[in-house]
Structure 1
Amino acid sequence: MSVTKPTPDGVVPKECRTRVHAVVGLLVFMELTSGFIQGGTTPLIPAMRDALGVSTGDAQWITTLQFLASAVSVPVFGRLGDRFGHRRMLRVAVLCITVGCVIVALAPNLELLLLGRVLLGPLAALLPLEVGLCRDRLTTADNRKAVGMLAASLALGSMLGSFLSSPLHHFLGDIHFTLWAFAVLAALCAVVTLFGVPESRERASGPMDCAGAGMLSISLVLFLTAFSRGNDRGWHQPSTMGTILVALALFAGWVRWELRHPAPLVDVRAVAGRRVAPHVLTTFMLGVIMLAAPVVSITYLAAAPHEDGYGFGLSALGIGIWGGIPHLLAFLVASRSGALAERIGMRRLLLTGLVLLTAGHAGLIAAHSSLYLFALAYSVAGAGMGLAISGLPTVIVEASPTDRSASAVAVYSNIKVIGGTISGAVFTSLLETLVTRGTDTPTLDAYLLVWGLCTAGAAAALLVTLTTWSRE
């Protein structure tokens, strides 16, 4: 695939469009695999814990370490991709992932398994690298379609992984065989990057900001560790608050360093500019709604009305069906977002998504006593999610310099994770604090408050985005 940009008369040759679609299809497979591995790991943790003979507390590090490794990998791989080539760094990332999957499948003890999980950190870096590659090789319209498909595939893969990994483990009968399935998928992605993906052509200038990468990595690890463990260790403990303060101080120092560096890891001025900053807030809220809020809604679906006074008492299968409909709808909407953006524009598409997210979570409050109305409101939120997960990375990357495409999407990915981490800790605290007297069962008000916070957050993101664009 040597030419994918339009000719001087604005037309892309048909044979080039065909090859473009084929390459995007390969990248979609990689995102499906990435989502499947990430979403499919959590249901398998009890089996991994039992196979290794470790405690539940120790087993939590299986997800925590990979989560922290992702926070470090995303900005580093994004910048390296802009600097040395997105395909090259995709190959490095997939190689790390494949080796990590193999180590996890073979691991005879927790220490080796955790090493493998750390090597899986670049899973979260695949999307920024793919978006950077697509922006370099495709026209604006094709790039928007590709980003929508990639974001949708990641969400769909995560849903399929969470639903299918347990049945796969039950069918295979051995946790090591199940984990080998992940390794096979990762190896197929390695083959894709070797033979099916072209290299990007534009390169960022300047040296790699190693000091900035180190400062940002340490601050993110400290911050995310404190929030992910805050409910267990206690927020009032000096160790928890001290870790957060150190992380914030280090982050402030990192910002000053980036502002002075000639080739910074992250272009802080561009991120803080009025073209990108409003989308950072929206991305934070997307992390809240996408990563933290669904856990609360699924817990509500499982609550028994005759015992808790609320909920619908659904079985695991029922939760999979009713909870899966919004995610499937999000995938379908996101996959068609590029075509929709051509008709109504990317701004209106993103605003429509934020309106649907606001209305959907407000609907959860109003419809909490009716399963069908609850599912309808949840589906409205799912459609909004589909527009948001495809529209946000697109508007962020298009507002960024062409030689910083992957770095810009890396910022989007990490802000989303930070939003999910902070809100996850807050929501867990609310459910543990607002309980029925004499029990540890959350009250109905706890769930309504969580959905109210999501509604307010989505409305705030909508207002900021609308106000900002109206001034341009």
Structure 2
Amino acid sequence: MTTTAAAAGPTTGDRPQAHLGLTLLALCAAGLVVSLQQTVVIPLLPRMITQLDTDVSGVTWLFTASLLTGAVSTPLLSRFGDMYGKKPMVLTTMGLLVVGSIICAFADSLGVYIIGRALQGTSAAMIPLAIGIIRDTFPRERLVGAIGVVSGTMGVGGTVGLLVTGLIADHTQDPHPVFWLTAALGVVAAVLIQVSAKNNGVRHGGKPDYLGAVLLAGLLICLLLGISQGPRWGWASGSVLGLFAAAVVLTAVWIFVELKVAQPLVRLPLLVGPQSLSANVASALLGFAMFGSFTLISNFIQTPADKVGYGLSGSVLAVGLYGIPSAALMTFFSFRTGRIAAKIGPAYTLAIGAAFAGASMAWLAISHDHGYDMVISQILQGTGFGIGYAALGTLAVRHVPMSESGIASGINSLVRTAGGSIAGAVTASILSAHVIAGTQVPTLNAYVASFAILSIGAFLTAAVALGHGLRHKGE
């Protein structure tokens, strides 16, 4: 492997602190836009079922498509970042987000929306690229705090996206203005990155693993399609069993390819190595819990209690308003978790955050009849995901050499978004399988089961993180 260009490691000895602050602000702004685009569509899903003449399983792909392409593009664009520089790749992700947003802003069919959402989803690679920029440019003593803040924007932006959509949807039935907004914010973030971030760091030669990317996309599509369509086609049908079998075969071929190619899309030691495995499992489980909760809570709030006997009879705006406590707490803890992680370690910090997140879903599984139940759950959720995501960004890269921080963070983001996409398919499958007779409305028990599953996912995250901390104490 050849090494070219720029100096390795942080180069901030004479860099003004104000400029570092501007760089961090720009990276946070880009992170907020990326996470915002992932969730802005969620409050609109119940409304778009009617507008697009589809069902819960079909419309969920407006959310799942974004996560799916994010999972595939993250390691690929992270690799490009190592080859050509992280700043150009961050600008590329912002450009794809803007293009996808514009496509959605003109869309009038489910298929066109899915294409636009898929392009938007590629921007998920921005977070590991941003963490790479931080490790290339920030002094060592500021790394943990800066990475925590940028990682924390994933939860903050996601919750803010729900509020922004609610405010817009309260004035119009047309979903297109939401996408014009994400396009505009993407342009603003790109300009901030262009004027503030530096393209430092070691660059490596070689070529991307396109075959690995295609195989990864194929196995995820087969898995998610099988899960989401199981209730409609029948779990024992040839189509569903064929999709699961194809996912298994493609996974085996993908692993074989990744072990054989000189520069794989995903370096398996960074995926399943001694310290990487538990960090990545925790990331997948936390992504499962967080992204799954966004779609589930939005649908539950908008369910009309007077017609089906449960729900909060809220509007799209109500979804965002209920999310204010969560957004505020995520913002608060994303700026303070770095100090906690520096004292007790990111693994134990992640365990604390995941436990709060698990409690938020457990609360709704047990008590969900009143608005204050949702408020309590949102307080627990904001605390949990604010702490958890900020700690996760540090845990993913602390054990790898500086030169591999970008790809390690990319792999961690891959499994997180893959976990989120699986959550969307799983909850859609449960809600589609258990409906009130004569309608397409899910039963209350379907929601309770989904909340319980997400809660288990978050509590498992806490257990994995705790085990990681105990096994690698002092490392």
TM bin (shorter chain):
0.7 to 0.9
Counterpart position of 2:389: 389
1:349–1:108: structure 2 CA closer, same or farther, 3 Å change rule?
closer
2:73 is the alignment partner of 1:92: no
1:464–1:345: structure 2 CA closer, same or farther, 3 Å change rule?
closer
Q: Which amino acid aligns with 2:391?
A: G
What's the RMSD between the two structures over aligned residues?
Answer: 3.6
Query: Once the two structures are superposed, what CA deviation does each residue of 1:410-464 show, in whole Å capped at 9, x if it has no partner?
Result: 2222322332333333333434445667876655544443333333333333233
TM-aligned CA deviation for residue 248 of structure 1: 2.0
Whether the aligned pair in 2 keeps the contact of 1:152 and 1:332 (CA below 8 Å) is no
2:271 is the alignment partner of 1:250: no
Q: 1:120 aligns to what SS in structure 2?
A: helix
2:387 is the alignment partner of 1:376: no
Map of 1:402-413 to 2, 5 A cutoff?
402-413=402-413
| Aligned-partner Cα distance in 1 for 2:228–2:204 | 35
Q: 2:266 aligns to what SS in structure 1?
A: coil
Q: Greater relative contact order (Cα 8 A, min sep 6): structure 1 or 2? A: 2
Q: Which amino acid aligns with 1:275?
A: Q
Moved more, 381-390 or 433-442: 433-442
Moved more, 261-270 or 116-125: 116-125
Counterpart position of 2:285: 285
Map of 1:64-463 to 2, 5 A cutoff?
65-105=65-105, 116-165=116-165, 167-168=167-168, 179-204=179-204, 206-302=206-302, 310-368=310-368, 371-372=371-372, 375-433=375-433, 444-463=444-463
TM-aligned CA deviation for residue 24 of structure 1: 0.7
TM-aligned CA deviation for residue 268 of structure 1: 0.4
TM-aligned CA deviation for residue 106 of structure 1: 5.1
| Aligned-partner Cα distance in 2 for 1:295–1:426 | 11
Whether the aligned pair in 1 keeps the contact of 2:43 and 2:319 (CA below 8 Å) is no
1:410–1:240: structure 2 CA closer, same or farther, 3 Å change rule?
farther
Counterpart position of 2:38: 38
- Could you state the TM-score of these two structures normalised by the residue count of structure 1? 0.84
Q: Which amino acid aligns with 2:324?
A: G
| Aligned-partner Cα distance in 2 for 1:221–1:4 | 38
Whether the aligned pair in 1 keeps the contact of 2:164 and 2:320 (CA below 8 Å) is no
Q: 2:40 aligns to what SS in structure 1?
A: helix
Query: Once the two structures are superposed, what CA deviation does each residue of 1:95-153 show, in whole Å capped at 9, x if it has no partner?
Result: 33333334444568877666544433321111111111112222344222222222332
1:108–1:378: structure 2 CA closer, same or farther, 3 Å change rule?
closer
| Aligned-partner Cα distance in 2 for 1:173–1:436 | 26
| Aligned-partner Cα distance in 2 for 1:304–1:79 | 47
Q: Which amino acid aligns with 1:180?
A: W
1:189–1:244: structure 2 CA closer, same or farther, 3 Å change rule?
same
Identity of aligned residues (%): 27
1:98–1:430: structure 2 CA closer, same or farther, 3 Å change rule?
closer
Q: Which amino acid aligns with 1:288?
A: F
1:436–1:34: structure 2 CA closer, same or farther, 3 Å change rule?
closer
Q: Which amino acid aligns with 2:121?
A: G
How many pairs does the alignment contain? 465
TM-aligned CA deviation for residue 356 of structure 1: 2.0
1:231–1:283: structure 2 CA closer, same or farther, 3 Å change rule?
farther
Whether the aligned pair in 2 keeps the contact of 1:141 and 1:342 (CA below 8 Å) is no
| Aligned-partner Cα distance in 2 for 1:182–1:377 | 28
Q: 2:203 aligns to what SS in structure 1?
A: coil
Whether the aligned pair in 2 keeps the contact of 1:86 and 1:130 (CA below 8 Å) is yes
TM-aligned CA deviation for residue 371 of structure 1: 4.5
Moved more, 383-392 or 419-428: 419-428
5+ unaligned residues in a row in structure 1: which ranges?
none
TM-aligned CA deviation for residue 290 of structure 1: 0.4
| Aligned-partner Cα distance in 1 for 2:153–2:135 | 18
Query: Once the two structures are superposed, what CA deviation does each residue of 1:298-326 show, in whole Å capped at 9, x if it has no partner?
Result: 44445566665555544554443334322
Query: Once the two structures are superposed, what CA deviation does each residue of 1:22-77 show, in whole Å capped at 9, x if it has no partner?
Result: 10101111122223333224556799999xx9644787765555444333211210
1:81–1:229: structure 2 CA closer, same or farther, 3 Å change rule?
farther
TM-aligned CA deviation for residue 265 of structure 1: 1.7
Moved more, 340-349 or 86-95: 340-349
| Aligned-partner Cα distance in 1 for 2:39–2:126 | 15
TM-aligned CA deviation for residue 87 of structure 1: 0.8
| Aligned-partner Cα distance in 1 for 2:229–2:215 | 21
Whether the aligned pair in 1 keeps the contact of 2:8 and 2:136 (CA below 8 Å) is no
1:463–1:201: structure 2 CA closer, same or farther, 3 Å change rule?
same
Counterpart position of 1:465: 465
- Could you state the TM-score of these two structures normalised by the residue count of structure 2? 0.83
Q: Which has the larger radius of gyration?
A: 1
1:194–1:235: structure 2 CA closer, same or farther, 3 Å change rule?
same
| Aligned-partner Cα distance in 2 for 1:317–1:329 | 20
1:414–1:229: structure 2 CA closer, same or farther, 3 Å change rule?
farther
Query: Once the two structures are superposed, what CA deviation does each residue of 1:255-295 show, in whole Å capped at 9, x if it has no partner?
Result: 12222333222110232122111122212221221011343
| Aligned-partner Cα distance in 1 for 2:144–2:356 | 20
Whether the aligned pair in 2 keeps the contact of 1:33 and 1:157 (CA below 8 Å) is yes
1:91–1:372: structure 2 CA closer, same or farther, 3 Å change rule?
closer
TM-aligned CA deviation for residue 398 of structure 1: 1.7
